[in-house]
Chains A and B, each alone.
Chain A
Amino acid sequence: MLDAAGPVFSDDIQSRIWAVAAWMLKVDGVAETVPGMNNLMIVFDPLAIPPGEVEQQLLHIWKTVVPDAVSGRDVDIPVVYGGPDGEDLAALADNAGLTVEEVVRRHSEAVYSVAAVGAMPGFVYLSGLDPQLAMPRRAVPRMKVKVGSVIIGGAQAGIMPCTAPSGWHIIGKTKVPLFDPLRDPPCACKPGDRIRFRVIEVQP
């Protein structure tokens, strides 16, 4: 595990994390790399490469790597905001001291970066949320948040890739499938991709 995190999440550090992850995959004995938020987990076979050597390689690449300037793709996510499938939109607007229209404008005008994919299959950790739209997670998580729900938790934006428990706030819904195990790669988005939410409709 390489932990490069400072007090707040940094997009520059994250670009470096992605680049190091790609390089480390080329090292013999390294099986998988798992970028987190400003950190990186390396999964390796200790019988194929000694742990100390993985450490050395990791630090060397961390110091010398040059992150790719342009890598990710642009992904368009059409969203129906509010209504029955965006039940927390009004509450989030209240919390932010903004109108619903302003919340939708700010949420859909931002460009988000897929920092990492993880926790559950196809779940994207997005950076780039307007800080004013941040809202602490629900004290009691909902047991079922529907697939395609467009959500905000703390200072992060997200999309539910499957129906699962979540304590994040639901502001809308998309029909874009984010995860399909029968597809390879199974995820619609990769770290480094840029996501834009496009307004289809705002429902009361």
Chain B
Amino acid sequence: MIEILSTGAVNSVQDLGRTGYLDAGVGRSGMMDAPALEIANLLVGNDEGAAGIEVALFPFRLRFETDTVFAVAGADCPAKLDDRQVPDWWVMNAKAGEVLTLGLPRAGARAVIAFQGGIDVPLVLGSRSTDLKSVFGGFEGRGLHRGDRLALGGTSRRMSRMEGGYGADVSVLRAPAAAEDEAIVLRVLPSAEYAVFTGEARSKFHETDWLITNDANRMGYRLSGPELTLTRKLELLSHGIMPGTVQVPPNGQPIIQLAEANTCGGYPKIANVIEADLWKLAQSPVGARLRFELTDRDTAVAALRQQRTFMAALAADAALMRGWN
């Protein structure tokens, strides 16, 4: 068991999300920084999809009620286990009674905590993710409150007991965070209505450093910048959309759909952020700037392959580490 000592209401239990129910109107949900959860899970000896906690509001504190193996990943945030420093992307052993504290990130926006055995909440439609918008899944269908006690799943896997002896080097997957005045670059593929935007709108779309407004949550981010206009008025019938879809509503200001996106929408779409770059959005806070760089399918697929290859190698390493104990 773990007990939540301080939190914000948007911090929630998430796994890799819900699949197979888009045609029932049920969105993905899941950890916004999915690769961070996969890595943290592999480090603590879980399957990559075990449920952890997404922390987007800080400070966050929890108490371990039993000895627990855990890892913190994602945002670069100052973390402490009682008085000990907790490095990111590193396996830690907590003793019963110890308190984990995550402070405001130095870079990035969302921290991920994985626990050996995973957070044990019921599977709803095949996933343990909280759907905050639709109020189901996760812990009672809602964000975490102070005083909540979460059970951890059992595990048959023995973990390394080497104190602070094991972590992941993620530098090949993640370049160091951009300096504060630098835009975060996202690779995009053109969407169905790309060609219906004026040439000027398309240039502006790629050249602008778009501001993430306060209207940014797990459903999506509203951006602010120059107005993007169409060459003609478009009335689209409702169609499927996905996390990463960049829509442009009539006010000309783009919206990026994210983990809790509706499954269908009707606004014209200018581009899609490639899957391998979605985690960068999870780590882009309100007030940060985004730049959209046009790429092609082959690059998008290669980037995804690199991510999967990294996970496979890490899974093999983790299995070796367990073997030594």
Q: Specify which chain B residues have a CB less than 8 angstroms from the CB of A46 in the assembled complex.
A: 297, 300-301, 304
Given A32-B22, A34-B23, decide whether A118 and B301 contact each other with a Cβ distance below 8 A: no
Q: With an 8 A cutoff between CB atoms, is B172 at the interface? A: no
Let me know if B305 and A39 touch, CB within 8 A: no
Would you give the shortest CB distance from A186 to chain B, in whole angstroms? 6
Let me know if B239 and A36 touch, CB within 8 A: yes
Chain A 9-30 near chain B by CB (<8 Å), digits 1 or 0: 1000000000001000000000
Number of residues on chain B facing chain A (CB within 8 A): 35
Q: Specify which chain A residues have a CB less than 8 angstroms from the CB of B124 in the assembled complex.
A: 181-182
Let me know if A35 and B23 touch, CB within 8 A: yes
Would you give the shortest CB distance from A137 to chain B, in whole angstroms? 12
Which chain B residues (1-33) contact chain A, with CB distance < 8 Å? 19-27
Let me know if B25 and A118 touch, CB within 8 A: yes
Q: With an 8 A cutoff between CB atoms, is A121 at the interface? A: yes
Let me know if B265 and A32 touch, CB within 8 A: no
Q: With an 8 A cutoff between CB atoms, is A174 at the interface? A: no
- A118 closest partner in B (C-beta): B264
Let me know if B300 and A120 touch, CB within 8 A: no
Let me know if A187 and B237 touch, CB within 8 A: no
- B308 closest partner in A (C-beta): A47
Main secondary structure of the interface of A (DSSP, over half): loop
Chain A 36-50 near chain B by CB (<8 Å), digits 1 or 0: 111111010011001
Q: Specify which chain A residues have a CB less than 8 angstroms from the CB of B22 in the assembled complex.
A: 32, 34, 41, 43, 118
Most buried by A among B27, B136, B304: B136
Would you give the shortest CB distance from B275 to chain A, in whole angstroms? 8
Distance, CA A38 to CA B237, complexed state (A) = 7
Let me know if B125 and A118 touch, CB within 8 A: no
Given A41-B239, A120-B134, A122-B24, decide whether A181 and B125 contact each other with a Cβ distance below 8 A: yes
Binding site for A on B (CB under 8 A): 19-27, 124-125, 131, 133-137, 192, 236-242, 262-265, 297, 300-301, 304-305, 308
Query: Which 4 A-B pairs rank lowest in CB-CB distance, beginning with the nearest?
Result: A41-B240, A118-B264, A34-B240, A37-B237
